[in-house]
Structure 1
Amino acid sequence: MNHYIKLVNFEVKRFSKLFLTLIIAVIATQITGAIVTSSLYVSNAETTMVRDQMTVSNYIQTYGAYSLQNFLFSEYFFLSVIFAAALLMIYVFFIWYRDWLGKSSVIYRLLMLPTARRNVYFAKLTTILLFIFGLTAMQIILLEVVNQITQRIVPDQLWMDESIIYIYSTEVLDLLYPQSPLLFVFYYVIGVTAVAVIFTSILFERSYHIKGIFLAFIYCVISVVIVMIPVIIQIITNYFYTNEIYLIVTGFSILTTALAIYLADYLLKRKINV
């Protein structure tokens, strides 16, 4: 356990600067977006009301009041979330290939440590999960900051306050922060499974090289099929309730993750020499 914790600490430190840069970029983009979208709304509202001689209530009835939804559907929020997700997805590959393709071939030193080689795999998987949860937690705080900024820019007469439940029911936020405990477990188990399968696919490629690319592809296809078996059965039979499908797919995803870990352990022990 001590070696595993040290490996996690090692991986976190290696990505910490890039992760901090990512957080700063997301914060700067979303705060800028909050200021721009709310200021633009107020400017357009004032211009329209003067031009068309409208009252505030008439303007709201025609064009709607400003709320946090305006920001959530803006390109500032959407693109910042997509950018963060894309960078993390790139790092899922980079966290392994950097160790092999770097000048010092760090992977060989890691695999020679006096600990089970699977701890290297678990440490990298844990690091990715820590960064994912770190970003999602940061986004919750950032939304409150954005909410306070927009409330100070938009006059009270043009502002529409919305409940937390309603705000988090929007499509993007509902995916990041599912309101149902079952959906929360479902989404994040699927995410862990995807990362585990990608990790093991990389190890196939590193173990068998050119042939490994083909094996990795076949393995990914098999993994997707395993996870999708309940969905395929549901499409054919329409037998299960929606929540039952979520539970069954979650179970098959856990099975797929366990298979990924088993294969990764085998490859690290038997196929990768140092």
Structure 2
Amino acid sequence: MNEYLKLVNFEIKRFSKLFLTLIVMVIVAQVIGAFLTSFSYMNRVETTMAQKLLGESQYVHEYGAYNLQEFLFSGYFILSIMFAASILIIYVFFIWYRDWLGKSSFIYRLLMLPTARRNIYFAKLTTILLFVLCLVGIQIALLEVVQLIIHGIIPDQLRADSSKAYIYSFDILSFLYPKTPLLFALLYGLGATVVAVVFTAILFERSYHLKGIFLGVIYLVISIIVMAIPVIIQDITGYLYLNEIIGLTAVTSILTLGVALYLADYLLKRKINV
């Protein structure tokens, strides 16, 4: 366990500067977006009220009040989320291939450490999950900052403040923050399974090279089909209840994760030589 934690700490330090830069970029994009969408709304309000001689209550009655959706559906928010997700997806591959790059491949130094090789795999997987959860947590705090900015610019009479439950029911936020602990565990467990499957596919390629690409693709396709079994059954029969879909998804995800971990352990022990 101690060696595993050291490897996790090592992986986090290797990506920390880029990750901090990513966080700063997301914060800056969303804070600027909060200011610009708020000022844009106020400019529209002032122009329309001056042209049509409307009061604030009349404007709200005819055109509607400012809602947080205006920010959440703006490019500042959506593109910042997509950019952060894209960087983390790229890092899922880079966290392995970086170790093989260069004249003196660093992966061989890792494999020679006095610890089980599977700890290297688990450390990289844990690092990715920690970064994802960290970004998700930061986004919660950032939404509070965004709302403070909006409240400071747009008067109460022109705002339609929403409850937390309503705000987090929007499509992209309901995906990042599932309503129940069970759905949270299922969604992020499914995400961890996908990352584990990709890691194992990479190890197939690293173990068998050109043939490994073919094997990795086949493995990916089979894993995706297994994880999609609940959806396939529902599309064919249409008889499954939500709880049954959740249960089947949990079973297929655990099965897929178990196979991914077993194959990764086998490849690291038997097929990747120092």
TM category, shorter: over 0.9
**Bigger mean CA offset, 103-112 vs 139-148:** 103-112
- 1:235 is aligned to 235
- 1:254 is aligned to 254
Q: Distance in 2 between matches of 1:155 and 1:239?
A: 50
- 1:128 is aligned to 128
- 1:269 is aligned to 269
1:239 positional shift:
2.8
1:101-250 equivalences under 5 Å are: 101-250=101-250
Instruction: Tell me which amino acid in the other structure corresponds to 1:3.
Output: E
- 2:93 is aligned to 93
Q: Distance in 1 between matches of 2:256 and 2:26?
A: 33
1:103 positional shift:
4.0
Contact 1:56–1:158 under 8 Å retained in 2: yes
1:68-83 equivalences under 5 Å are: 68-83=68-83
**Bigger mean CA offset, 133-142 vs 185-194:** 185-194
Q: Distance in 1 between matches of 2:128 and 2:233?
A: 32
1:242 positional shift:
1.5
SS in 2 for 1:66: coil
The percentage of counterpart residues that share the same residue type is 65
Gaps of 5+ in 1: none
Q: Distance in 2 between matches of 1:151 and 1:109?
A: 54
1:181 positional shift:
2.5
Q: Distance in 2 between matches of 1:230 and 1:42?
A: 48
Per-residue CA deviation, residues 137-180 of structure 1 (Å, 9 max, x unaligned), is 00000000010011001112111111000000000000000112
Q: Distance in 2 between matches of 1:197 and 1:75?
A: 31
TM-score, with structure 2 as normaliser? 0.98
- 1:59 is aligned to 59
Per-residue CA deviation, residues 163-210 of structure 1 (Å, 9 max, x unaligned), is 000000000000000112232122111101110000000000000001
1:37 positional shift:
0.3
SS in 1 for 2:228: helix
Q: Distance in 1 between matches of 2:230 and 2:37?
A: 43
Write out the 4+ residue segments of structure 1 that deviate beyond 6 Å after TM superposition. none
Instruction: Tell me which amino acid in the other structure corresponds to 1:193.
Output: T
Per-residue CA deviation, residues 38-68 of structure 1 (Å, 9 max, x unaligned), is 0110111011110111221221122211122
Q: Distance in 1 between matches of 2:71 and 2:189?
A: 29
RMSD of equivalent CA atoms: 1.0
TM-score, with structure 1 as normaliser? 0.98
- 2:7 is aligned to 7
Instruction: Tell me which amino acid in the other structure corresponds to 1:169.
Output: S
- 2:22 is aligned to 22
Q: Distance in 2 between matches of 1:250 and 1:18?
A: 33
Instruction: Tell me which amino acid in the other structure corresponds to 1:250.
Output: A
Q: Distance in 2 between matches of 1:2 and 1:202?
A: 26
Aligned residues: 274
Contact 1:197–1:223 under 8 Å retained in 2: yes
Instruction: Tell me which amino acid in the other structure corresponds to 1:209.
Output: H
Q: Distance in 1 between matches of 2:104 and 2:46?
A: 61
1:238 positional shift:
2.4
